[in-house]
Amino acid sequence: MNAPRLFRAYRCHRFGDYHALTIEEVPVPALAPNEILLDVHAAAVAFHEMLMVQGLYQLKPPLPFTPGSECSGVVREVGAAVMCFKRGDRVIAAVRHGAHAECLTVAEEYCLPLPRTFDDAQGASFFTAYKTAYVALVSRGALAAGETLLVHGASGGVGLAAVELGKHLGARVIATASTDEKLAVTAAKGADHLIKLDANGEFREQVKVLTDGRGADVIFDPVGGDVFDQSMRCIATFGRLLVIGFAAGRIPSAAVNHVLIKQVSIVGVRAGEYGRQNPAGGAQVNQALLELANAGSLTPHLHARLPFEQLVEAFDAIAARQVIGRVVLNMK
């Protein structure tokens, strides 16, 4: 059966308010030899995708474009050079944009088989969050068993992935979040200690108490701003502060005298770029994640499964900081 001539996709025609996104019918593109065409069954929704539509992300695709960076689906067609997938295979895929659509063309190298125990929604929400956590904690942060890991934004999709993976690696995990409900989910993922942030977002003194004044060995920070500043005050000697993103909006600066005195490392983490710059390393990360997922060691936490038509509502929930884990759009 040939691919449909047209499929539905969200389209961004100008950077700005994501409420202006429209659903349109667009033609199925021709396949390059190394590409597969997916019939998308589920697509995750993420904070950085909202920023991309607003024109606030480092990547600004040519207009118009379709947002969405990860999905799951069934292979409908394969290019002549595709080696690892065939029509009918269930896969997960990660792209820079284009996944908020009924069909997606994607290079074979950016796809993995759907883990055996996952449904479509779990598959769609797995790749980006857990790859970020793995590249941060293993490839860049060298987290060792017995070390203390402090995870900020711990109730988000990436934060929960870091909590879960950190526990699997044998770390003692401290999680920060703003509500009891969010902290309860981090505890279910394995966090050993929970810090509920007060109105001022204070946590550094609690971290010092929990670590007998030593501080955290590895700090996972997707928030930035004041969180980064405080983290520099509660990091252990020889610690690694992993810069994941700036959800707080302010890009902080580091006092390098503190870096020198404590001999700490400030490490930037861009998981997708890690694989693009280091293809062999990226492939190793992908294989490790697939093995952990198939073993049942890693499982995404889903906040909501919404119909395809509710992308804007999903962005609203993310903007209001209501989401615990991931939101997924179901196409089928």
Question: pLDDT, tens digit, for every residue of 3-12?
Answer: 558 899 999 9
Cα distance between residue 246 and residue 205, in whole Å = 22
pLDDT at residue 2, as a whole number: 56
97, two tokens: 């944009």
pLDDT at residue 4, as a whole number: 53
Q: Which residues contact 36 (CB under 8 A, 6 or more apart)?
A: 75, 76, 77, 78, 79, 82, 85, 91, 105, 106, 108, 111
pTM of this structure? 0.91
Question: At 148, is the secondary structure helix, strand, or coil?
Answer: strand
Crossing angle of helices 127-134 and 279-294, in 10° steps, is: 110
pLDDT at residue 58, as a whole number: 85
Strands 35-45 and 326-330, bridge-based pairing: antiparallel
Per-residue pLDDT tens, the chain, 332 aa: give them: 455 588 999 999 999 999 999 999 999 988 999 999 999 999 999 999 999 999 998 889 999 999 999 999 999 999 999 999 999 999 999 999 999 999 999 999 899 999 999 999 999 999 999 999 999 999 999 999 999 999 999 999 999 999 999 999 999 999 999 999 999 999 999 999 999 988 778 899 999 999 999 999 999 999 999 999 999 999 999 999 999 988 888 999 999 999 999 999 999 999 888 888 999 999 999 999 999 999 999 999 999 999 999 999 999 999 999 999 999 999 87
Note the Cα 222 to chain centre separation in Å.
Answer: 10
DSSP sequence for 81-122: T--S--TT-EEEEE-SS--SBSEEEEEGGGEEEPPTT--HHH
Cα distance between residue 232 and residue 10, in whole Å = 41
CB 36 within 8 A of CB 87: no
Q: Which residue has 């007060």 as its token pair?
A: 198
Q: Read off the amino acid at residue 250.
A: R
CB 42 within 8 A of CB 79: no
DSSP sequence for 164-211: HHHHHTT-EEEEEESSHHHHHHHHHTT-SEEEE--TT---HHHHHHHT
Q: How far is CA 46 from CA 91, 151, 257, 302, 326, in A?
A: 19, 18, 36, 12, 8
Complete domains list, the chain, with CATH = 6-126+300-330 (3.90.180.10), 129-272 (3.40.50.720)
Question: pLDDT, tens digit, for every residue of 291-327?
Answer: 999 999 999 999 999 999 999 999 999 999 999 999 9
